[in-house]
Structure 1
Amino acid sequence: MSISTALQTAFSGMRAQSYAMGNISGNISNSQTPGYKSVDTSFADLITAQSSKQAVAGSVVAEARFTTSLQGALRATGIATNMAINGQGFFTVRQMTGEAKFSGVPLYTRRGDFTLNKDGYLVNGADGYLFGSNLDPATGSLMSSGPIKIANSSLPGRQTTRIDYSANLPKTPGTAASASGDRTPYGLASAVVTDPALAAPDVGKKVPAGQAPSFLDKSIMGPTLTLYGAGGAPVSFSTRWAKVQDAAPSATPPKNAIWNLFYASSAAAAKSSDWINVGSAFSFDSSGKLVPPASATVSADGRVSLKIPQVVVDGSSVGDITMNLAAGGLTQYATSATAVTTNTLTQDGSAAGTLKSLSVTAEGTVVGTFSNDMTAPLATVAIASFANPNGLRAASGGSYEQTRESGPPIDGLNAATLVGGNVEASNSDVAGEFSKLIATQQAYSANVKVMTSAQQMMSDLLNAIR
């Protein structure tokens, strides 16, 4: 190897180590940048001459080795709209180029420190606008695809259509009439309660307001809850159970216990209200198990559903309501209780509500919690993955662009999950970078020493010629 070649080789070494130093500097500088992916340096030698007897090492070239596919640690931030991808994938973002206009080139980033800006868009710390699908909170259906925008959403009221109920009715009800010594059958006069011999009472048959005090004395409290009419208007739904027939297993034919359920047409004044029969006779065999009403629908797993038609309370119409009883959910087992023991009582309606807070699910759904304690999906986050994420081209702000080497984007989380309230930290290891820094500095100094030595040799040669 000539002295001039040694000078050139040493210079290439200095240049390569300078490039490595630049990468190390960038990695250390961005050690606290969310979603930053460090850039390592790969060295390759260039052989200038080689034979069976000699091999002359040539220059060195430095190239970047990307770690885009290497995940950083997840850190909790306490900010609900922050999100991190646990696994492979990238958020799809775009930059705003004008008034409500976005660049046509999608960018991909792991930087998930998204917060709501003044216009309701989810934007990260590098001004990347998060893209995805905006959903109708009332129905969950797709409204638009594009930048995710969370406005001051309100959730419209939902009309009650279903009541889920389970309870145990007492074999011997503790009514006001029985407490006063009245031992007449729990069934009222035949003009008040449908003849229990019928399979089901007449729909809508009622206890007139004039007989309400007697009815209240000879019945026990049933489920009481708030229902919601059209538009979410609340309605107080008060019910009473009236036992119209005791079980008589030895009778010919044997008789089961029968109950009727009534609701008050005026929640404000129970003692002066009509009490409407829901239209189904609830019968129990000698063991206390429910014999489903003839009007009920029984599923294969034993669930019983029956309709309470056209519920109207205080002039407000709720409409038809389906009462769902789980398998074995309504019973008449012998217990010491003389009142109804309620185990389950829920309904599916709600009043209107305004948005209170946001959260992000593992599947990438932005969920809103409203003032009526209801939750609803507001948006889904667009996630893309690549066959070769290290082939992406880096852009500013921790974003990347698709290239031929990366392959096309593959939509969806695949095996990854989203973690709300977290951000992904930089994958740059400061301790490791300092180790590289020491090695790079020594290598650079050694190359400088080679250059000075080669220069001294060149000077000696020139002096000898003179």
Structure 2
Amino acid sequence: LAAKVEGVPVHRLLGETRRTAIPAYASLLRIGSPDNITTLLSKIDALSGATGSSVSTSGVITLNTGTVSNLSVSSSNSSAFAALGFTSTITKNRNGGGTAGTGGVIGNDIATFTKESISGGAVTAYNAAGTPVNLQLRWAKTDSASLGAGHSDSWNLFYQTDPNATGTTVGWVNTGQAFTFASDGSLTTPAGSGITINNVSVSGQSLGSVAFNISSGGLTQYASTSGAVTINTITQNGYAAGQLRSVAVNNSGLVVGTFSNGQNLNLAQVSLSHFNGTNYLKAMDGGAYAATEQSGAAIDGASGSISGSSLEGSNTDIADEFTKLIVTQQAYSANTKVITTANSMVQDLLNVLR
């Protein structure tokens, strides 16, 4: 990361650089009378292991220290140190990204963070209770291939944990994963399909662990003339709470419930069974059958299929049922004759008595 300071002396530059540290010693710089600012920056790079420190034609100095600790500049040679304008050891804490090492951007630094990062879009996610949560994303570049050997284009993804953060309250959280890109703009790291972001919380609403999945070619670093991120599609698979509206059985035997939030969930499954003595099942009302001692217990795993939203066709033996109907009709006719004969006998008896 580079810090740019314009229009200040070198000693002020070293004292105000942010996010980095230099174990510099003036006695090793070997500054000569013909040395200029560019030469000084090259010698500082050699000491710190960094590359790319420079001064532009407009006087803007970019200093890369190559480390992620706080800045500390000191020397055992007080005369040489004083020649640079230093009267004592110079220290400067890392700023601009929140407290060192926490991976968060505090409220005091959000304005700077917003200027030095780009929007990554937003998506409405849902927690375990079905509460909608507005998840805002931003990308911050942490390294650049333009700095030379050992550097690559690298970005970190941040999400907004507190939209109203002020002071030292954390407003944005770094997911902790470096997204690295090759020279052709393709993603090289992470190598898998995505990352898992643990303990995600937004405005007091916990989302738990969120899987951030990236499809093949879904995240690239192509040049943009506007300098803004181009967002094609961000989707999520959560959903709000819903009420059960209807139940149906599909052709696989699954009992599917349809909810008011548009989700369909499998609630149960109808299993198929067979019996060793099928003909000995006891017929029940409603077209159902019950197992008997002769039929044996139900055996799971029968072959067959289930037709959802369908009525079963009649399984009645027409010839057998007609035979039973004729027998019943004849029995009814015979009983009618018996009743008629009995009635005539009673009438005759009454007439004799008269």
Q: TM-score, normalised to structure 2's length? A: 0.52
**Equivalent residue letter for 1:419:** S
Any conservation in 1 of the 2:96–2:112 contact (CA below 8 Å)? no
**SS at the partner of 1:415?**
coil
2:137 corresponds in structure 1 to 239
**Superposition map of 1:450-465 within 5 A:** none
**Residues 1:287 and 2:178 aligned together:** no
**Superposition map of 1:61-72 within 5 A:** none
Any conservation in 1 of the 2:245–2:260 contact (CA below 8 Å)? yes
**Residues 1:309 and 2:198 aligned together:** yes
**Equivalent residue letter for 1:410:** I
Any conservation in 2 of the 1:204–1:278 contact (CA below 8 Å)? no
**Residues 1:191 and 2:95 aligned together:** yes
2:268 corresponds in structure 1 to 379
1:341 corresponds in structure 2 to 231
Any conservation in 2 of the 1:203–1:279 contact (CA below 8 Å)? no
Distance in structure 1 (CA, Å) of the matches to 2:95 and 2:119 = 21
1:94 corresponds in structure 2 to none
**Superposition map of 1:414-433 within 5 A:** 414-426=302-314
The superposition leaves residues 181-204 of structure 1 with CA deviations (integer Å, 9 ceiling, x where unpaired) of xx999xxxx73359xxxxxx9774
**Residues 1:274 and 2:274 aligned together:** no
1:165 corresponds in structure 2 to none
Structure 2 residue corresponding to 1:353, chosen from 242, 262, 265: 242
Change (3 A) 1:397 1:233: closer
Greater RCO, 1 or 2 (C-alpha within 8 Å, sep 6+): 1
**Equivalent residue letter for 1:418:** I
Distance in structure 1 (CA, Å) of the matches to 2:61 and 2:278 = 82
Question: % of aligned pairs identical?
Answer: 36
- What is the Cα-based RMSD across aligned positions, in Å? 4.2
1:368 corresponds in structure 2 to 257
Distance in structure 1 (CA, Å) of the matches to 2:279 and 2:224 = 69
Give 1:423 deviation, angstroms.
1.4
Which protein shows a greater Rg?
2
The superposition leaves residues 204-242 of structure 1 with CA deviations (integer Å, 9 ceiling, x where unpaired) of 423333443443344332242223345333321111122
Change (3 A) 1:208 1:402: closer
Give 1:284 deviation, angstroms.
0.8
Change (3 A) 1:409 1:324: same
2:124 corresponds in structure 1 to 226
Change (3 A) 1:243 1:359: farther
**SS at the partner of 1:212?**
helix
Distance in structure 2 (CA, Å) of the matches to 1:336 and 1:411 = 66
Distance in structure 2 (CA, Å) of the matches to 1:220 and 1:398 = 67
The superposition leaves residues 247-287 of structure 1 with CA deviations (integer Å, 9 ceiling, x where unpaired) of 33x9323x3211121122234799x9822222222111123
The superposition leaves residues 161-200 of structure 1 with CA deviations (integer Å, 9 ceiling, x where unpaired) of xxxxxxxxxxxxxxxxxxxxxx999xxxx73359xxxxxx
Give 1:376 deviation, angstroms.
2.8
Give 1:336 deviation, angstroms.
8.1
Any conservation in 2 of the 1:391–1:406 contact (CA below 8 Å)? yes
Distance in structure 2 (CA, Å) of the matches to 1:212 and 1:367 = 48
2:103 corresponds in structure 1 to 205
**Superposition map of 1:314-329 within 5 A:** 314-329=203-218
**SS at the partner of 1:366?**
strand
**SS at the partner of 1:258?**
strand
Give 1:344 deviation, angstroms.
5.0
2:152 corresponds in structure 1 to 256
Q: TM-score, normalised to structure 1's length? A: 0.41
1:28 corresponds in structure 2 to none
Task: Provide the aligned length of Structure 1 versus Structure 2.
Answer: 230
Give 1:367 deviation, angstroms.
2.0
Change (3 A) 1:223 1:367: farther
1:77 corresponds in structure 2 to none
Any conservation in 2 of the 1:385–1:409 contact (CA below 8 Å)? yes
1:409 corresponds in structure 2 to 298
Unaligned runs of 5+ in 1: 1-182, 195-200, 442-466
The superposition leaves residues 39-98 of structure 1 with CA deviations (integer Å, 9 ceiling, x where unpaired) of xxxxxxxxxxxxxxxxxxxxxxxxxxxxxxxxxxxxxxxxxxxxxxxxxxxxxxxxxxxx
Give 1:328 deviation, angstroms.
4.7
Any conservation in 1 of the 2:140–2:157 contact (CA below 8 Å)? yes
**Equivalent residue letter for 1:426:** S
**Equivalent residue letter for 1:304:** G
Any conservation in 1 of the 2:97–2:109 contact (CA below 8 Å)? no
